[in-house]
C-alpha cells in the first residue's frame, strides 16, 4: 500500500515535471495559456506544456527560430512573437503548427519571407508582419489561405506586392499596407486592380501611398487614373522550352509580370516603366478630335442631302403645279387647287 502511494506520487511528480512550466513563464492550465513575455528570453523555452494553445513570447530578445521551433506545442492556436529581434526564420520554423490561427510577428527585424515559411499554417486567420524591414514578399504561397482574414504588412520596406499573393487570401477583410516604399510603376497595377475589387466587396485597407517615382510621390495609388497605366513590358524570353507564351505582351488588366532578369536593348530599363501621362491621353485626344471631325463632316453631308432633297421635291412640286395649272386652266376652269394638283400628277 505504501509502495503504491509512493509510486503514485512519483508518477505525479514526473507528470508535473514533464507537463511543467518553464522557469520564466507563467502557465494557466485550465485555458492552456502560457505567458513568457518580457523575460529577456533569447530563445524559445524548452519544456513548454504540450497542450499549450496560447503562447505569449512578446517583448523578449529572441533573434532566430530554428526549424520545427514549436514542435513541442502542436496545439498552438495563438502565437505572439511581437517586439523581439527576429531577423532570421528557418523556412520550416512553423512546421507542425496545423492549428495556428493567430501569428503576431510585429516589431521584429525581418528582411524577407520565404513562401515555404507559411505553407505549414493552413488554419491561419490573422498574420501580423507590421513594423519589420521586409522588402520582399513571396509572389504566391502555393496553397490558398482559405481562412486568413487579417493581413498586416504596414511599416516595412515593400516596393511592390504581387496581385497573385493577395489572390491566395480569398477571405481577407482587413489589409494593412501603409508606410512602405511603394513604387507606383506598372508593377503595382495588379495591386491597384485587386484593391479596387477588394474595396468594392467591402474590404478595409489603410491605403497605399506611393513613395516613388517622384511624379506620384505622396499620391494614393487608388487615385491615380487607369489611363496613366501602361502594361509592363513582357518579361525577357526564358531559354526554357515553351517560352513562346512569354513573348506575348500582357494586357493591362491581366496579371502583372515579374520584372525581367536581364534586358539586352540599350533603351531605358523596361522594368522601370513608370506610368507617365504621355501617350494614352494624346491618343485619346486624337481619337476624340477624329470623331468630332467625322461627325461634323457627316452632319454637313446629311444637311446638304436634306437640302437637295427638299429642293428637288419643291422643284418637282412647283413644276407639277405649273404644268397641272396650265392643264387644269385650259380644261376645267372651276376646279379647286387640290383637285387640280391631284389631276395634274398623272400627267
Ligand X SMILES: *[C@@H]1O[C@H](CO)[C@@H](O)[C@H](O)[C@H]1NC(C)=O
Residues that bind ligand X (CB under 6 A): 38, 58-61, 78, 80, 82-83, 87, 102, 104, 106-107, 109, 122-123, 126, 128, 133, 146-147, 150, 261-262, 264
Three-state DSSP at 154 gives coil
Rounded least distance, CB 289 to ligand X, Å: 43
Q: Any bridge partners for residue 54, and if so which?
A: 33, 78
For the bound state, the minimum distance from the C-beta of residue 227 to ligand X, rounded and expressed in Å, comes to 33
**Cβ–Cβ < 8 Å for 210, 229:** no
Nearest-angstrom CA–CA distance, 159 and 319: 82
Name beta bridge partners: 346: none
CA angle 224/225/227 to nearest 5° reads: 135
Comparing CB distances to ligand X, the nearer of 68 and 112 is 112
Q: How far apart are CA 160 and CA 190, in angstroms?
A: 10
Are the beta carbons of 251 and 267 closer than 8 angstroms? no
**Least distance to ligand X, CB of residue 192, Å:** 25
Distance of CA 335 to the CA centre of its chain: 85
Rg (CA), the chain: 38
Instruction: State which residue, 74 or 122, has the beta carbon closest to ligand X.
Output: 122
By the 8 A CB rule, do 259 and 235 touch?
yes
Cβ closer to ligand X: 9 or 61? 61
Beta strand 33-35 with 26-28 is antiparallel
CA distance 107 to 133: 9
From the CB of 172, what's the least distance to ligand X, in Å? 12
| CA atoms of 195 and 163, how far apart (whole Å) | 9
Which residue number, 85 or 321, has a Cβ lying nearer to ligand X? 85
Residue closer to ligand X by CB (options 171, 345) is 171
Name the residue among 138, 109, 108, 105 with its Cα closest to residue 124: 105
Query: How many residues are there in the chain?
Result: 347
Nearest distance in Å: CB 201, ligand X: 19
Task: Say if strands 54-56 and 33-35 run parallel, antiparallel, or are unpaired.
Answer: parallel
| In the complex, least distance from residue 130 CB atom to ligand X, rounded to whole angstroms | 8
User: Of 17 and 240, which has the nearer Cβ to ligand X?
Assistant: 240
Residue 257 C-beta: closest distance to ligand X, Å:
17
Nearer to ligand X, 64 or 109 (CB): 109
Provide the minimum distance between the beta carbon of 108 and ligand X in the complex, in angstroms, as a whole number.
Answer: 9
Smallest distance from the beta carbon of 256 to ligand X, in angstroms? 21
Minimum CB distance to ligand X smaller for 102 or for 209: 102
SS3 content of the chain, % helix, strand, coil (to 5): 35, 10, 55
Query: Nearer Cβ to ligand X, position 112 or 327?
Result: 112
Residue appearing with cell numbers 520554423: 93
H-type helices in 112-188, by residue range? 163-167
Amino acid at each position: 500500500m505504501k509502495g503504491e502511494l509512493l509510486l503514485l506520487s512519483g508518477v505525479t511528480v514526473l507528470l508535473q515535471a514533464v507537463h511543467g512550466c518553464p522557469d520564466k513563464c507563467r502557465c494557466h492550465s485550465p485555458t492552456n495559456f502560457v505567458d513568457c513575455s518580457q523575460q529577456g528570453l533569447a530563445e524559445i523555452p524548452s519544456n513548454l506544456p504540450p497542450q499549450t494553445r496560447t503562447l505569449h513570447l512578446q517583448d523578449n530578445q529572441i533573434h532566430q527560430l530554428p526549424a520545427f521551433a514549436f514542435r513541442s506545442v502542436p496545439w498552438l492556436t495563438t502565437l505572439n512573437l511581437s517586439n523581439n529581434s527576429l531577423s532570421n526564420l528557418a523556412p520550416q520554423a512553423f512546421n507542425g503548427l496545423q492549428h495556428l490561427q493567430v501569428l503576431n510577428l510585429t516589431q521584429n527585424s525581418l528582411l524577407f519571407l520565404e513562401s515555404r515559411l507559411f505553407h505549414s499554417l493552413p488554419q491561419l486567420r490573422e498574420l501580423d508582419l507590421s513594423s519589420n524591414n521586409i522588402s520582399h514578399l513571396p509572389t504566391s504561397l502555393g496553397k490558398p489561405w482559405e481562412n486568413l482574414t487579417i493581413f498586416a504588412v504596414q511599416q516595412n520596406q515593400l516596393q511592390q506586392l504581387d496581385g497573385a499573393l493577395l489572390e491566395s487570401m480569398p477571405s481577407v477583410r482587413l489589409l494593412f499596407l501603409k508606410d512602405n516604399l511603394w513604387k507606383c510603376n506598372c508593377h503595382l497595377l495588379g495591386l491597384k486592380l485587386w484593391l479596387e475589387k477588394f474595396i468594392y466587396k467591402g474590404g478595409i485597407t489603410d491605403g497605399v501611398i506611393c513613395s516613388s517615382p517622384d511624379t506620384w510621390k505622396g499620391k494614393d495609388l487608388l487615385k491615380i487614373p487607369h489611363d496613366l497605366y501602361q502594361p509592363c513590358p513582357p518579361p525577357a524570353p526564358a531559354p526554357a522550352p515553351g517560352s513562346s507564351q512569354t513573348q506575348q505582351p500582357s494586357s493591362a488588366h491581366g496579371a502583372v509580370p515579374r520584372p525581367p532578369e536581364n534586358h539586352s536593348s540599350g533603351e531605358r530599363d523596361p522594368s522601370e516603366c513608370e506610368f507617365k501621362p504621355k501617350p494614352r491621353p494624346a491618343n485619346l485626344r486624337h481619337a476624340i478630335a477624329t470623331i468630332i471631325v467625322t461627325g461634323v463632316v457627316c452632319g454637313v453631308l446629311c444637311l446638304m442631302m436634306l437640302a437637295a432633297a427638299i429642293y428637288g421635291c419643291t422643284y418637282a412640286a412647283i413644276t407639277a403645279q405649273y404644268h397641272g395649272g396650265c392643264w387644269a386652266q385650259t380644261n376645267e376652269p372651276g376646279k379647286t387647287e387640290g383637285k387640280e394638283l391631284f389631276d395634274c400628277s398623272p400627267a
